[in-house]
Amino acid sequence: MKTQQYFTLKGVQLNNNCPECYSNEGLELTFKQKFVENMFYKAITENTKYDMHCNICKTDIFPIRWTDDIEQVVNYQKRAVTPKPKSLKLKQAGWLFIIIDILLLITVILFATGVISF
């Protein structure tokens, strides 16, 4: 039930020529950061990724097709983007699990020391 998603940190329109259709109006660079959610917690990780898409010819532009100019712009934009800090938020089920574990641990310790007997 663990889901891994990415949320958009920043989207940038580039003025470089698309390597596929040679248009200089459609390139878009998107930076995304990983978001993990399961039954017990939600977390933002440090993992980021980026992808480039041309809105004119509707194709994804992979790094193998980048020109030197595109690569310089991408490197600049990588330095300019600031990812959100790593975080963790427990859900209600996570807190319930921790509380039950603490109560069980206290019961076992009290039983072992002889304070509680059945």
Rounded to an integer, what distance in angstroms lies between the CA atom of residue 4 and that of residue 79? 25
Q: Is 14 exposed, middle or buried (0-12, 13-18, 19+ CB in 10 A)?
A: buried
Rounded to an integer, what distance in angstroms lies between the CA atom of residue 115 and that of residue 118? 10
Q: Nearest to residue 11, comparing CAs of 27, 24, 25, 30? A: 30
pLDDT tens per residue across span 39-88: 899 999 888 999 999 988 888 989 888 888 889 999 999 998 889 999 99
pLDDT of residue 17: 86
Determine contact, residues 32/10, Cβ cutoff 8 Å.
no
